[in-house]
Amino acid sequence: MGHGDHQATTPRLAGRLRAARDRAFAGRAGELALFREALAGSSGGWVVFYLHGAGGMGKSALLRRFADEARAAGRPVVEVDGHTVAPVPDVFEAAAASALTGRDPVLLIDGFEHCQGLEGWLRERFLPRLPAEAHVVVASRRPPDPSWACDPGWSGALRVTTLRPLDLEDSVELVRARGIPAALHRPLIDYAGGHPLALCLAAEVAAREGTWTAPSHDLIAALLGKLVGELPSSAHRQALEVCAHARTTTQQLLRAVLPGEDTDALFDWLRAQPYLETGQDGLYPHDLLREALDADLRWRDREGYEIMHHRMRAHLLSQVPAASSRTLLPAVEAVKYLHRGGDVTREFFTFATDGSVSEDTVRPGDRPHLLELAAKAEGEESAALVDFWLGRRPEAFRVHRRSDSGRPEAFLAWLRFTTPDEAELAADPVVAAAWQHCRTAGPLRGEEHLAVSRFMIDPSAYQRPSGIMDLMLHRAVAEFLLQDRLAWTYITWTRPEFWGRLMKYSDHHPVPGSPAVGGLRHTLYAHDWRAMPLADWLAFTGAEEIFGPREKQPAAPRRPVYEVLSRAEFDTEVRDALRVIRRPDALAASRLTRARLIARSDAGQAADALHELLTDAVDALREDPRQADLHRVVAVTFFHGVPTQEAAAAQLGLAFSTYRRRLRRALEHITDQLWSLETG
């Protein structure tokens, strides 16, 4: 047997590699069908098949499969790798030269983004010189230049496909081909989200370790190296990290988070990246890239991560008050999305709102649909209460209707009350329970109101996390953020064993007793916004949002507790504080030191702040000439150390009855001024 005969019969390593690739290949049926049609001579006229997609999406694997099938069909294959070919016309042409002279060649160009500057030359100068029966496949991270479509010659000869993540069936096929046990398929697929490279790397880890928990930092680094590669500067990295952390990124957001950077240029750069998508509200990455970038920064630079997060949160919170009715819930969702790394938020929010259902007000004709939904979810007695409140407060209802048909799918009511109404208390035991708690725990003051979330009705996922429940919870948060003289909120659940943890996180505490409607018990959770105002609530809830469930979290800030006083109690405390204003130790014991007006003072110590507020209120009397006499009465009585009111009257040269009358008027002015600070 000759040497040549031995070569012809000995299996080659290339064959083994090709067979292994064939076994591991999954998906891309549409792209393969189009290519096979071309090999069979029925390509429908296409000459160039342009594939583009993010790194790791399987472009190179698909081109290898194309090469194998073309060779099996007897077609000469010419492969050019943009990673290794210098982006110079002569060098590129030398690498692809055999395609110019071969019979029916198949030219496969991979990594074209590395020589994308040759695109015009390729289209205008090189490709027209190929044989008439040639077929070309170009794979790039970037989409083709619009000039292809503008050229009548090329518009019919070009096919463009964006390579997307694998679907569930193809993802299962991919991990099964790697020998992964069925029990691990779903965790791996959930992590990778159909991204082929991530799925392969994760499967390799699972095969080696026999389990799968979470990606290691090495795996994340490997993914980022492939998906993103080298970045032009630290500013570009920061811009990409902003894009990963935010729900969507706009140039306005970049300006807020990266002050001092050229955000015009950075946004243009982001917009051109193949791994970022452009949506209605801004730019966003694939979920896998988002989580990899976010986890990498959180691990690599915790301090920088927190700075970015807090700047972003402050900016997004500032956008909520200016939002229109249409953009309000998306604005709230953008804020809430920053919380997704927290253990509590990820348990109760899905972030799965896809536009198929949107929030709306009540329309004529909605009533029978809403009653039907209520009866299906909570029974006929609950439906009767929905009918009652629709008749009295239709503006309180938020209807979640299908975008395609307009039909109501779910609804809630956000009921606001300033005074109790006997008919309403008699009709609805849940509202009656809220009022009873308010009366005993902290009655309304002045123009304050309370709010009750009522009827979180979605029969398809009743009081369970879902896209619709996200909308309901975002509505509640919007009401918190836009509050005006809100004293109490009451959130109502029929599944307290599940939702209690979210309520604790949001500083809503269970109200004793669970009123029943039609045999279904409702648990109310209450928050006093006077005891913990909005700014403090945001700081309190914000402590959880950055850190994931497996990370050690810093101690949460102390829960602020402000004492809520009735008007009569407040007036008494002001008078008592004035009596001891020259005794710091006694002033420090005043209940006013725990009131809201002290919490909003700039003074460092509560007693000092109270002394300053009382002094300012007294001095304000002196600024009005008509009240100068009142100022002198208060100053002598409380600041000059006179032992008795009789002595004060004598020092002022006033009859005691006149003195008492002026003192009473002065104290009324002072308490009115301070009360407006307390409740304003």
pTM: 0.72
pLDDT of 74 > 80? The answer is yes
Residue with tokens 């190929």: 130
Q: Is the pLDDT of residue 375 over 90?
A: yes
Mean pLDDT of 540-567: 63
Look at residue 426 and tell me whether its pLDDT is greater than 80: yes
**pLDDT one-digit tens code per residue, 285-301:** 888 888 889 988 988 89
Name the H helices within 107-209.
119-121, 147-150, 152-155, 168-177, 182-192, 196-209
372 C-beta neighbours (distance < 10 Å), count: 14
**pLDDT surpasses 80 at 302:** yes
The lowest-confidence range among 8-12, 372-376, 416-420 is 8-12
What integer pLDDT is reported at residue 599 of this predicted model? 67
CA-based nearest residue to 65, from 23, 99, 96, 102: 23
Q: What is the pLDDT of the chain when averaged over all its residues?
A: 87
- β-pairing, 523-528 vs 509-510, is antiparallel
Over range 367-382, report the average pLDDT: 97
CA atoms within a 13 Å half-sphere pointing along the CA-CB vector of 49: 26
Mean pLDDT, rounded, for 503-531: 94
Question: What is the structure's pLDDT at 10?
Answer: 57
Q: Is the confidence at residue 2, as pLDDT, over 60?
A: no
Confidence of residue 63 (pLDDT cuts 50, 70, 90): very high
532 DSSP assignment: S
Cβ 292 vs Cβ 223: under 8 Å: yes
Q: Which residues contact 30 (CB under 8 A, 6 or more apart)?
A: 161
Q: Residue 20 pLDDT more than 70?
A: no
Res 15: pLDDT: 66
Q: What is the pLDDT of residue 550?
A: 38
State residue 257's pLDDT score: 97
Mean pLDDT of 435-453: 92
Q: Which residues pair with 359 in a beta bridge?
A: 400
Domains, the chain, ordered by start: 28-162 (3.40.50.300), 226-319 (1.10.10), 357-545 (3.40.630.30), 567-679 (no CATH)
Residue count of the chain, please give it: 680
Share of the chain above pLDDT 70, in %: 93
Query: Counting Cβ atoms within 10 Å, is residue 342 exposed (0-12), middle (13-18) or buried (19+)?
Result: buried
Cα 392 from chain centroid?
Answer: 35
